[in-house]
Chain A
Amino acid sequence: MKYHFSLMIAIALLAACATPVPPPQKLRLATTTSTADSGLLEYILPDFQNKFNAKVDVIAVGTGQAIELGAKGDVDVVLVHARASEDKFVADGDGINRLDVMYNDFVLVGAKEDPAKVKDMTTAKDAFAAISKASAPFVSRGDNSGTNSKEKSVWAAAQITPTKEMSWYLSIGQGMGETLLFANEKKAYTLADRGTWLSQKSKLPNLIVVVGGETINDNKDKTLLNPYGVIPVNSAKHPGVNFDLATKFANWLTSAETQKKIGEYGKDKFGQALFYPSTSK
């Protein structure tokens, strides 16, 4: 009897210690593989999780899928870099209160040998034309991602339509990390966002930046800028989402303190920032 009584006291004490802290709220964030691969989220999310007693579940998928997850209400907030898709997402009523978060740029990388002789051309458009003319191997993400959309717009500007019949054009339908590894293996050209490029560079010994310079300030091709947007999912259309927490997240992401942190990410590891906060524009 005495034993049972002490046990009950112990359990009651434990329960009392456990109750004051409510369990963390969950926020489901759909973002792109490029964003996730850069490592930025691991760097900034702990601050949000601590400040708001939340746990952020990051679902990193292709841009198309990330938007689709938001459109189905399967996530609470979306962070992507494909303006046309984002605008459609909001216009369809699936997302609401889009905010600019940060931007970086795209670079054209290729083998050191540079068979198409594009090194240090000013615009990607000219480089793409030269690559097509030389039938030099070019890898495309081929997955309707933000990066893929940018690539397609550059081909359109150069008035070239690459097709799978062209043996030098390899459309592999995969994420940025895998695409860079593939390009490294095949010694081919590819368009990459600078963030992923910088964080993966050490694993890509055969590749160098051929168009776009070593930092975003050196990039003379302004069409290669890559802006990111955060969009909470509209709870009016998708009642199950945590709109309140998603809004807090969007506001926190664009707050002065977080924006400063975003601008610092990568400096010590790569010698330059991977992303530029929107507020610095």
Chain B
Amino acid sequence: MLEIISLTLFVSGVALVIATIIGVPLGAALALRTIPLKKIIGLIIYTGMGLPPVVVGLAVYIFLSREGALGWLGWLFTPSAMITAQVIIALPIVIGLTTSAVENVNPELRLQIRSLGATPNQVMWTILSEARAGVVAAIVAAFGGIISEVGAVMLVGGNIEGSTRVLTTAIVLETRKGDFGLALALGGVLLTLTLITNFFLLRLNRPPSS
């Protein structure tokens, strides 16, 4: 049981960190810079937020399969494949909601900082700090999405006992075995984990000590 819990946290945790590191700056850039086709890119990102996780899993499976383009990596049925799928699921959520949060910051603020001589990077980080609440919401939403996901991790991970079994796939297994009581209990554990993690994530909302 402990193994399943720690793997769940490891896979979703690593995926969240990667998606955050890539997604938050990208989301801010999308909001702050003027780039060609901005509206179309925005549309694609928002559509990505609604991407069915199991379809992402299927695509990743096909790429990582023996005959697939990335089959040589040998990642199929390992946590690496699960992390890959979860990053792809989380990324649009992080980017989309970050863009929205940044766009909602008062544009006067940007002009103010620029007039004080801030570099574009300094502008971005200051605005992000102002949009903190929205960015945290983006991270929390992405985390909720990937830790509760079952289709993709089942496909690319294989639900192998002792190496790729996480809480969601374990719940599916106990259900098909007819052990509804245990499946519900595992669901309770999953909810508790999400609760605790979100408690810590929400602490990021505190203003930075100046």
Contacts and interface: CB of A to CB of B under 8 A. Distances in A.
Given A61-B176, A64-B177, A143-B177, A165 B162 contact: yes
A66 B161 CA distance: 23
B165 A173 contact: yes
Nearest to A62: B176
A67 B165 contact: no
A186 B65 CA distance: 10
Interface in A56-80: 61-62, 64-69
Contact of B159 (A165, A172, A185, A186): A172
Interface of A: 61-62, 64-69, 142-144, 164-165, 170-175, 182, 185-186
25 contacts: A65-B175, A65-B176, A66-B178, A67-B178, A142-B173, A143-B177, A144-B177, A144-B178, A165-B162, A170-B160, A171-B161, A172-B159, A172-B160, A173-B159, A173-B161, A173-B172, A174-B154, A174-B158, A174-B159, A182-B77, A182-B158, A185-B66, A185-B76, A185-B77, A186-B77
Given A62-B178, A68-B180, A185-B66, A173 B169 contact: yes
Contacts of B170: 173
Contacts of B159: 172-174
A185 B65 contact: yes
Interface in B151-210: 154, 158-162, 165, 169-170, 172-173, 175-180
A143 B173 contact: yes
Contacts of B180: 68
Contact of A172 (B76, B158, B175, B179): B158
Nearest to B173: A173
Contacts of A165: 162
Given A68-B180, A186-B77, 10 more contacts: A64-B178, A65-B175, A65-B177, A66-B178, A144-B178, A165-B162, A170-B158, A170-B161, A171-B161, A174-B154
Contact of B161 (A69, A142, A185): A142
B65 A64 contact: no
A170 B173 CA distance: 15
A145 to B, nearest CB: 8
B178 to A, nearest CB: 3
A66 B175 CA distance: 10
A66 to B, nearest CB: 8
Nearest to A67: B178
A278 B158 CA distance: 36
A62 B177 CA distance: 6
Nearest to A71: B178
B28 to A, nearest CB: 40
A82 to B, nearest CB: 11
A182 B159 CA distance: 11
Nearest to B172: A173
7 closest A-B pairs by CB: A68-B178, A62-B176, A64-B178, A164-B162, A173-B173, A64-B177, A171-B161
B162 A64 contact: no
B177 A171 contact: no
A150 B186 CA distance: 28
Interface in B135-159: 154, 158-159
Contacts of B176: 61-62, 64-65, 143, 173, 175
A173 B66 CA distance: 22
B71 to A, nearest CB: 10
- Kindly name the residue among A66, A165, A172, A175 whose own CB sees the greatest number of chain B CB atoms within 10 A: A172
Nearest to A33: B176
Nearest to B66: A185
B186 to A, nearest CB: 13
A64 B177 CA distance: 4
Contacts of B76: 185
A164 B164 CA distance: 12
Nearest to A164: B162
A66 B65 CA distance: 32
Contacts of B154: 174
